[in-house]
Amino acid sequence: MNNLFDALVQFGPDLVKATLDTLLMVSATMVSAALIGTPLGVLLFTSGSGGLYPRPLLNRVVGYIVNVLRSFPFIILLVILITFSRQVVGTSIGPKAAAVALSFAVIPFFARLVEQNLRDVPRGIIDMAQACGASTRTTIVKVLLAEAMPALVGSFTVTATGFIAYSAVAGAVGAGGLGDLAIRYGYYRFETSVMVWCVVIMFVLVQGTQIAGGWLARKIDKR
């Protein structure tokens, strides 16, 4: 126990910086999921068979691209995108570069979750909105997304908790964050106490995200 507190005093600034780097990576990643993954999921649903506006060719092309991106193991995706990350954020290492690769991983993943959440919306509600003369935008925003919002928040929460763990994997290739700190000190230098603190902080981040997401999902669920 004394070793743990000694490590906290000695490596406290490093732990704080690593935690902030992890939060930066995950925050940027989830913004990408919300801003790009959500519209992509809507497109997959509306253009698919049985969707609002079926476009088989478009759906197949978009679905194929999504599946290709999802098929890459994350650590390989990190390596492949090194050059692209340097062009986008000016560096190939650190949390900013990792956020680029994390975004490429999260967008297709979250898009499929959004597609599935929208499929769970009762068709009768959509038909009723269209029968009342609702426009395409109104049907999607005020009916589809509104009805699926509790499920979408749940999917967003699950995605966020999963990609907190992904951010730790990114530490293996110099992305910074808690994963990088655990490897550099906990593994290479045999500072077991540092690794323990990294695990504790990751646990708190995951649990805090899950609790907050679950609370929000219940709050907005009016059923």
Give the count of beta carbons closer than 10 Å to the beta carbon of residue 16.
11
1 Cβ partners below 8 Å, 6+ apart? none
pLDDT per residue as tens digits for the range 40-77: 999 999 888 877 788 889 999 999 999 998 888 887 88
**6 alpha-carbon distance from chain centroid:** 34
Using CA atoms, how far apart are residues 70 and 166, in angstroms rounded to an integer?
Answer: 14
Q: Are 44 and 63 in contact (CB under 8 A)?
A: yes
Tell me what pLDDT residue 61 has: 94
pLDDT per residue as tens digits for the range 179-204: 888 888 777 777 778 888 888 999 99
Q: What is the pTM of this model?
A: 0.88
Q: Are 118 and 148 in contact (CB under 8 A)?
A: yes
**pLDDT band at 11; cut points 50, 70, 90:** low
> Residue 132 — φ and ψ, nearest 5°?
-85, 0
Using the predicted structure, report yes or no on whether residue 1 has a pLDDT greater than 60: no
Q: Are 139 and 52 in contact (CB under 8 A)?
A: yes
All structural domains of the chain? 2-220 (1.10.3720.10)
Q: Are 193 and 3 in contact (CB under 8 A)?
A: yes
pLDDT per residue as tens digits for the range 85-132: 888 888 777 888 888 888 999 999 999 999 999 988 888 887 787 778
